[in-house]
Amino acid sequence: MVSKREARERRQAAAREKFDSHKAMLISRVNPDPMPRVAVTPPNHSEPRLPPHQRRAADAAARQPNTIEDGSRFGHRVTWCRTRADLSDSWSWGEPRSWTSTEWDQTILPPFALFGNLTWKEIDAFSSESGHKMHHGHEVSDLVSEAQKRWIALDLEQFDSVFRFRLGGTKRVWGYIVQAHFHIVWWDRLHSIYPSEMH
């Protein structure tokens, strides 16, 4: 008669033999190709897949200048330049169109340096003591006729509106805006370019 211990050892030996034979069979089926397998990183689909017509529209929108993605300049910082400034000759009322170096350094440049740190929305919020907007646009047709003719002579007809910054008192800087960029055109010391009750 076989003891319990011997029976257990026989069962364990039979199980090991069965495992080893099964293991040998599995190893024989494995492809012995020594080339390592290349792991492929699955693509990250964090963005939703769009139908082709919506993908084309999204691609076209991405190519638009980012300063006008919402059709408004108000969320963007003010940039400016004087490359289109009209600095030749004088107005019929005797005021030179060109500023002096002192006027530029002391009166025009300091506020424009500050404007460059603001958004157009912040510029729009400035108001005068009387509650009117300090900096705002006008139609070209609102200007004195001499300024309207000069605007055309400067080949600016494509812009039918002008924007003016008030620098205090009667001092104004006139120009036009492309996207969020202001082009200085005229330095107006005496508020003469736009007819008002004070003139």
- This prediction has a pTM of 0.64
On average, the pLDDT of the chain sits at 84
Q: Which residues of the chain have pLDDT under 70?
A: 30-48, 58-71, 197-199
The answer to whether 119 touches 76, Cβ cutoff 8 Å, is yes
Predicted confidence at residue 125, as pLDDT, reads: 93
Render pLDDT for 56-93 as a digit per residue (tens, 0 to 9). 776 665 554 444 455 689 899 999 999 999 999 999 99
